[in-house]
Amino acid sequence: MRRPAIYLVRHTLQRPPFQAEAIGRGNSLTRPELADTVWITAGTRDPGIALAHELAHVLMNSGEHSDEPDNLMRGETSGANTRLSVKQCTQLRENARGNGLLDP
Ligand SMILES: [Zn+2]
């Protein structure tokens, strides 16, 4: 399967349940088969923003959140949070390329 992979699912059996989840290299040690995947449930608020947010987690290989106004990586997803900083864009490109996630 090509990575990163995005799964749009009805719900999750995980407890506690998530609305959307990114599984990168760092949080897939006990489930390596799920590395570099994003999971978006039907109940996710602002699903387009949430998808971009979770995909950025995977591409940056980071679970970090930002406190910057309107930043895509704020902990709380909202339609206004669409921006990435130059530093985040650089981190995203470099880590994604290094992990082979930008290969054609
Ligand atoms: Zn997040």
Distance 95 CA to ligand 1 centre (A): 17
CB-CB contact of 67 with 44 (8 Å): no
What's the chain's average pLDDT?
A: 94
Distance 64 CA to ligand 1 centre (A): 7
pTM of the model as a whole = 0.92
Tens digits of per-residue pLDDT, 47-65? Answer: 999 999 999 999 999 999 9
SS3 of 36-95: CEEEEECCCCCHHHHHHHHHHHHHHCCCCCCCCCCECCCCCCCCCCCECCHHHHHHHHHH
Distance 19 CA to ligand 1 centre (A): 11
